[in-house]
Amino acid sequence: MSHDKTYAKVPRHVAIIMDGNNRWAKERRLPSLAGHKAGVDAVRAVVDGCARHGVESLTLFAFSSENWLRPEREVRGLMELFMLALKREVKKLHQHNIRLKVIGDRGRFSESLQAKIADAEALTAGNSGMTLNIAANYGGQWDLAQAAQKLALQVAAGELDPARIDSDQLASQLELAGQPAVDLCIRTGGDRRISNFLLWQLAYAELYFTPLFWPDFDRAALEAAFDDFCCRQRRFGKTSEQVEAEESDA
């Protein structure tokens, strides 16, 4: 078994925009679904790598609320692949003490897929290792809107004073409530934008962009991202001098 690198600081929460499956397939003159299938192998490698390094939460952007606009055949294939991956992978996740959580609006999924998601979450709910969040039919704007709606209902019911609504109250109603803020956000495929992903949770995340298509993103690529993260000074609004003084006192 290979020895894992050790890092002075490991991101508690890693979020990944898995981009480039279609272009990977196109370069090989394969159908788009072949790229998505190859992407599942990359997911396995990254889940394993993050768990080994002690990452607490890993959030993968699998299917955005805008992806319904893609060709119907591709969307149908993606849904079938999602169902198949749940069937195949959940037992392995459970064996490795990983908790699975699916975030997003499940209302557009078939009843059978919704049931499969619920079963997978229930099976792994008691696990104490890394939490794997799969963002499916997810959008950051939707997440903020549904959180605001929950707070509005509490106000309307007389359960919450509007004056008490602050950032903590809003965060408590988001899909990733109770999990650490994102420390490192990786986007594969060469584009440099966050595409409506975790708008709130990425507030102070370090952004890492790589030209690699997602199916080519392996353990070595993950470790390159971690190497880059370790070289960054995270100031959270403070000066470099303040941060360095705090680190020397620690």
Catalytic residue numbers read: 19, 67
Q: Cα-Cα-Cα-Cα dihedral of 54, 121, 89, 72, to 10°?
A: -120
Which neighbouring-strand residues pair with 176? Answer: none
In this structure, are residues 55 and 4 in contact, taking their beta carbons and an 8 Å threshold? no
Q: Minimal CA–CA distance to 125: which of 89, 104, 100?
A: 100
Query: 42-79: string of b/e by CB count within 10 Å (b at 16+)?
Result: bbeebbebbbebebbbbbbbbbbbebeeeeeeeeebbb
Q: What angle do CA 203, 206, 209 make, to 5 degrees?
A: 120
**Amino acid identity, residue 30?**
L
